[in-house]
């Protein structure tokens, strides 16, 4: 799950005659016994309706159509929401959140001792207090770091 989308990965190839270019028209149950069971107990309205229904529901909600990719025996379905996130956002969180060595060092120390002050961090990292404050502000902006409690007794 991401702020602007959900990506579902399903192992295996597309079933039967279904291909990326005919998903809305082609119907083929990967496991007909499970489909029959779900239909019998009213979890499924009719056979072969899932993909088309998803497209209709997304359109009705004013959302873009689902996106499918068939990559190395995995089917990926991406469903986007209304949140506009810059196109440069990448799926890999480690790549998306670039941390400087100072930011990473601050996080490493705070994980071990959350009560450390900016002055103490500056001494540990051999940096100025101003550099530590600037990096803490950047970590807060990135949503990685959050202060709990007051300035005097918080962490």
Per-residue pLDDT, 136: 92
Distance in angstroms (rounded) separating the CA atoms of residues 117 and 152: 10
* Spans of all domains in the chain: 5-80, 97-141
Tell me the pairing of strands 5-11 and 67-71.
unpaired
Domain 5-80: give its CATH architecture: 2-Layer Sandwich (3.30)
Other CB atoms within 10 A of residue 36 CB = 13
CA atoms within 13 A on the CB side of 61: 14
β-strand partners of 22: none
CATH 1.10.10.10 applies to domain 97-141? yes
Per-residue pLDDT, 130: 94
pLDDT < 70 stretches in the chain: 46-47, 83-96
pTM of the model: 0.46
Per-residue pLDDT, 96: 57
């Amino acid at each position: 799950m991401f702020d602007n989308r959900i990506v579902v990965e399903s192992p295996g190839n597309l079933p039967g005659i279904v291909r990326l270019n005919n998903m809305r028209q082609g119907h083929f149950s990967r496991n007909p016994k499970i489909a029959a069971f779900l239909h019998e107990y009213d979890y499924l309205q009719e056979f072969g309706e899932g993909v088309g229904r998803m497209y209709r529901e997304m359109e009705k909600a004013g959302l873009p159509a689902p996106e499918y990719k068939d990559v190395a025996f995995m089917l990926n379905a991406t469903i986007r929401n209304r949140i506009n996130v810059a196109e440069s956002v990448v799926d890999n969180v480690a790549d998306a959140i670039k941390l400087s060595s100072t930011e990473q060092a601050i996080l490493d120390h705070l994980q071990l001792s959350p009560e450390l002050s900016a002055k103490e961090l500056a001494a540990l990292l051999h940096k100025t207090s101003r550099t530590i404050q600037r990096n803490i502000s950047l970590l807060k902006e990135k949503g990685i770091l959050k202060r709990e409690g007051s300035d005097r007794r918080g962490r």
